[in-house]
Copies of this chain bind each other. A is one copy, B any other.
C-alpha cells in the first residue's frame, strides 16, 4: 500500500552497481567504522552498516562471512601501525624538540583515532588478540623508538638527564588523558579541553626539560 500510494519517488537506486571486491570491502569497512565507533558493536546493525555503505545487507555477506568478521577486518585495517616516524631534525634546540613532539602527538589524535581507541576499549573483550597485537605491534615499538631517540639526545647532550628522560613514556601520557576527554565530553566542550590539555602538556615538558637554574647541569654544558 505504502508503495502504491506514493508516486514514483525513484530514489535513484543506481541499479546494482558491479564493483571490484576491494572497493566493496573498503566501502563496507568505512561504513562499519562509522557505525561501530558511534554505537559499539552490539548496537550497530548489519542493516545500518549496509545502508551506510550503500548496498544490500546480503551483499555484505558476499564479502565477509559474518558481523564479527567485518568488525575484526575493520579493526585490523585501521589499527595498522602508522609508519611515518617524525625524525627529529638535527639542529633543533630542546624547546623546539618539545614543540614538534607535542604538535605531532596531538595532530595525530584525530577524531577517527579517538574513535578507534574508544572502540578498542569498548570491545576489548571481543577481540583480545587484536588488542594484544595492537599493543605489541604499535604501542610498544613506538615507545621503544621514542625512548631510544631520547636516549640519543641525552647522550649527545641535547637533553639533560632528568627523571623524565629515564621513563620518557610518562611524558606522553597526558595525550591519553586528552583522548579520554574526547570520548567523554560532548563535542564542543571536548574541543576546548583538547586545547587546554595540549598547552598544559607543552608547558610541562618545556619546564621539565629545562635544567634547574643554578644547578650543575647534567655533567656538562
Contact = CB atoms under 8 A, between A and B. Distances in A.
Contact of A120 (B131, B176, B184): B184
A163 interface: yes
A60 to B, nearest CB: 14
Contacts of A125: 38-39
A7 interface: no
A174 interface: yes
Contacts of A38: 125
Total copies of the chain: 4
A186 interface: yes
- Across chains A and B, which 8 residue pairs bring their CB atoms closest together, nearest first? A163-B207, A215-B215, A42-B43, A42-B42, A212-B212, A122-B122, A212-B215, A1-B73
B170 A204 contact: yes
A68 interface: no
A185 interface: yes
A214 interface: yes
Interface in A42-56: 42-43
Nearest to A207: B163
23 contacts: A1-B77, A2-B69, A40-B40, A40-B41, A118-B122, A120-B184, A121-B122, A121-B183, A124-B183, A131-B184, A132-B185, A132-B186, A135-B184, A135-B185, A163-B203, A163-B204, A163-B208, A164-B204, A170-B201, A170-B204, A180-B180, A212-B212, A214-B216
A167 B200 contact: yes
A177 interface: yes
A110 interface: no
A186 B128 contact: yes
Contacts of A186: 128, 132
Nearest to A45: B42
A76 interface: yes
Contacts of A144: none
